[in-house]
Structure 1
């Protein structure tokens, strides 16, 4: 029996087993996912084949990036049929063609800036594009700031510091832009998304989220943001209901439209373990990248016997939910 998530115009069928990996291949974990203009799906994973490409039906097309990345983390589809891949293990962003040719590298591989210096980069996490082509980078594990670059990779400015006040960050984990140039930042451990203008000036924040991890806004003028949220992991709250892990769709004011997922973490259809990246195709179908294997030990007993957990899911739109 099919599992349906959501309600009203926002109903999705869990498409079990989506993505036909070649025999003997594994993901390790899926850090991020993206969709190009032809609805081909790019899976940025921590296995031996870092970028795996599928068609919309989950048929394997190709892979690339072998030996290039230290620790895959973020994926952003550029406006010019290129793909931006953030590697927090070697502190770089690589802009690649869709078949894997590197055309731009921002940052120096294996040369992090000093911890919490505010200088790019110390374990950067994600990228986004402004309408004018400028590139924003969330720099979130060894820094607490965002950076702005020109399309050619010239550093223009930075903002943010560690803290919980407006404009401060506690694990700045993801970033995206809308068609008007507003910048949205997943301030994960402050449980919020902060909104800034193009120059890093604080505008507002969206609350009522739990550890927002993945962000996706469809291109063009739209009113929705898709948010992948991690669940609780402390011994005292890891079994508490209604905190995630889940995918939440919010409107342009940050108000909840629908939450997708069950009360607790798990592997059953309709459950999530660790949503880390989100993307949506032209049909409104949602792809969810999960770092399940990394997060599982903190929320469940050790696996016996050890095995790889599910870390990529597709939710197929059933109603006329905007894409």
Structure 2
């Protein structure tokens, strides 16, 4: 059955990841509601920002939206830790506000390392660090990242610039350098925070915390990817 996952408790500072079934019933809580922590047994969180569930049910969580933790955690279907990467810092596999996470078609995990103004990339099976993109983010770091359904492009949101960027996805192997294909400049103070891409239609849904709304962008069918609201 389809499942929904919630990152935060209804109470302030929830520090939890919650799983619901297709009827909306709560079936699992990870972390201690209302209590931040760094522990692994039991697993504790401090402001988890986002998660991504792959087709096998394995889960990738970025934990540390300004909190104690700056880490990427991979969990199995039964919520066992498979690997963990990260701590506060600027070097490889270190984070400063890991804010969004997604997976590409060739087994790489992409993390929006917002405070360090870069995307970091890891092997999904081993957690090995594969590289980083920072040349596209000299003004501001990425707050959200997703792939288009065909896997050819990444859609990235930059919060304070109120901008969406379309980046060329690298083939398997070396990730090379970041290349911007096109951008969508939103109105001032729209503040795109997180986004999601419809795997069937390619539509992009953007959560805008400045405008307090969700906008939908529909892809125009052309060689160069572009979107219209």
Q: TM-score under structure 1 normalisation?
A: 0.58
Residue matched to 2:159: 230
Residue from 191, 204, 207 that aligns with 2:131: 204
Runs of 4+ aligned residues of structure 1 deviating over 6 Å after TM superposition are: none
Deviations 1:76-121 (A, max 9, x none): xxxx622222117211111223442223322222232149xxx631
Counterpart-to-counterpart distance in 2, 1:97 and 1:217: 26
Q: How does 1:184-203 map to 2 (within 5 A)?
A: 184-198=110-124, 199-203=126-130
1:311 corresponds to 2:213:
yes
Q: How does 1:240-259 map to 2 (within 5 A)?
A: 244-253=161-170, 254-259=178-183
Residue from 128, 138, 145 that aligns with 2:62: 138
Structure 2 runs not aligned, ≥5 long: 171-177
Deviation at 1:180, TM superposition (A): 2.5
Higher relative contact order (Cα pairs below 8 Å, separated by 6+ residues): 1
8 A contact 1:124–1:138 mirrored in 2: yes
Q: Aligned-residue CA RMSD in angstroms?
A: 2.4
Structure 1 runs not aligned, ≥5 long: 1-79, 232-243, 267-272, 293-308
1:84 corresponds to 2:5:
yes
Deviations 1:143-199 (A, max 9, x none): 111111111112233111111111111111111112332111110011111001122
Counterpart-to-counterpart distance in 1, 2:117 and 2:202: 26
Deviation at 1:124, TM superposition (A): 1.0
Counterpart-to-counterpart distance in 2, 1:258 and 1:172: 24
Counterpart-to-counterpart distance in 1, 2:53 and 2:80: 14
8 A contact 1:131–1:180 mirrored in 2: no
Q: TM-score under structure 2 normalisation?
A: 0.79
Residue from 28, 31, 37 that aligns with 1:104: 28
- If you compute each CA radius of gyration, which structure gives the higher value, 1 or 2? 1
Residue from 49, 53, 57 that aligns with 1:129: 53
1:260 corresponds to 2:184:
yes
Q: How many residue pairs align between the two structures?
A: 205
User: Does the residue aligned with 1:161 lie in a helix, a strand or coil?
Assistant: coil
TM-aligned CA distance change 1:313 to 1:130, over 3 Å: closer
